[in-house]
């Protein structure tokens, strides 16, 4: 807008365009219009429209979103070329709410980019499958659905090691595995003392270096979380998701802090914390906070507490709680 429009918009909300550093908005308090000089505006910052763009932070192509340039209530002087009229009067009530909205918008944009790339990938795969192109080399580079391990006895521990030398301790290992014994393919779990038990009860004692496979999906934090829940707690989660017209397929992001605790601690028997599950449904974004407590026992049932707090981006809430008979 020009200086004349700016004079007419004193006291109104204006947009502040900082390019790659983000877009903000605030109240235009004063216009500085000196003769033969570009006009400037004094603005009190109220919120954020768009987050800053990604920037590279090192030579290994690691990127991050830079911090916001301004804070709520901050008064700054801007060149008039950066300011424009805001026509939308439906603005977030607080600075924090505007940041949350900007985060959601950026997330939707990136999600659309991911979906677009997935569509292009499917188109390319279809093209390759219907052409005369040799797919052998291409198929060899596809991401495998399973991780292959070799069995090892390390001191008093039994472990599996994958092709990247990542170790998986078999003590209390919850995963379902696949192996071959006596020319038969088997599926089962680890028992103890280096013994595996198939789903049909066959006990298998592998030799050093024997191969085992685990479906990659089992390492997904959300799959692990669902498998860790008691059936009644999982059912409660699913019924509440249905209430908001959601299913597991609508998950956008899962932060599983319980998994992090289990992987990073030894001999710990009590776990407390919160997991954060973000879903995208027909009515917008829904955040589920899963508060949990676990006390593990060797000689009796574990004590379990789960609390699910559902919050939509419109402020609607629902709460579901599960405890087993040994919980307080």
- Helix spans in 46-181 (H): 95-129, 136-140
Which of the residues in the chain have pLDDT under 50?
A: 135-142, 327-328
pLDDT recorded at residue 127: 65
Per-residue confidence (pLDDT) for residue 163, from 0 to 100: 84
| Cα–Cα distance, 258 to 270 (Å, whole number) | 11
How many angstroms separate the Cα of 184 from the Cα of each of 140, 187, 189, 315, 325?
26, 10, 16, 55, 42
Quick count: other Cβ atoms within 10 Å of Cβ 182? 7
Q: Which long-range contacts (CB under 8 A, 24 or more apart) does 28-34 make?
A: 28/83, 29/75, 31/3, 31/6, 31/7, 32/77, 33/3, 33/6, 33/7
Question: Using CA of residue 106, residue 109, residue 113, residue 115, what is the dihedral sign?
Answer: positive
CB atoms within 10 A of CB 207: 7
For residues 281 and 313, the answer to whether their CB atoms sit within 8 Å is no
Task: With CA atoms as reference, report the closest residue to 274 among 309, 250, 231.
Answer: 309
| pLDDT score at 263 | 59
CA distances, 4 to each of 10, 16, 89, 312 (Å): 10, 18, 21, 42
Q: Please give the Cα distance from 198 to 216 (Å, whole number).
A: 19
Any idea which residue has 């992001």 for tokens?
A: 253
């Amino acid at each position: 807008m020009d200086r004349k429009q700016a004079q007419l918009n004193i006291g109104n909300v204006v947009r502040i365009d900082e390019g790659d550093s983000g877009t903000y908005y605030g109240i235009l308090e004063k216009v500085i219009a000196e003769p033969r000089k570009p006009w400037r505006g004094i603005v009190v910052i109220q919120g954020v429209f768009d987050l800053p763009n990604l920037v590279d932070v090192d030579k290994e192509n690691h990127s991050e979103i830079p911090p916001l340039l301004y804070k709520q209530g901050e008064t700054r002087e801007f060149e008039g070329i950066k300011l424009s009229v805001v026509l939308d009067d439906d603005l977030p009530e607080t600075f924090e709410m505007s940041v949350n909205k900007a985060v959601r918008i950026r997330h939707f944009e990136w999600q659309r980019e991911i979906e677009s790339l997935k569509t292009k990938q499917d188109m390319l795969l279809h093209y390759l499958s219907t052409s005369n192109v040799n797919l052998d080399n291409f198929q060899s580079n596809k991401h495998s659905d399973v991780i292959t391990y070799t069995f090892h006895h390390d001191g008093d521990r039994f472990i599996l090691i994958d092709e990247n030398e990542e170790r998986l301790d078999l003590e209390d290992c919850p995963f379902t595995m696949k192996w071959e014994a006596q020319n038969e393919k088997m599926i089962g779990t680890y028992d103890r003392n280096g013994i595996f038990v198939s789903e049909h009860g066959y006990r298998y004692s592998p030799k050093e270096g024997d191969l085992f496979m685990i479906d990659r999906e089992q390492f997904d934090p959300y799959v692990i979380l669902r498998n860790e829940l008691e059936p009644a707690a999982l059912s409660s989660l699913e019924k509440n998701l249905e209430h908001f017209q959601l299913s597991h397929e609508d998950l956008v992001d899962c932060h599983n802090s319980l998994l992090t605790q289990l992987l990073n601690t030894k001999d710990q028997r009590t776990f407390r914390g919160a997991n954060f599950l973000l879903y995208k449904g027909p009515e917008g974004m829904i955040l589920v906070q899963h508060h949990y407590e676990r006390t593990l026992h060797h000689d009796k049932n574990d004590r379990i507490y789960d609390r699910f707090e559902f919050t939509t981006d419109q402020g609607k809430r629902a709460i579901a709680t599960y405890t087993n008979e040994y919980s307080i």
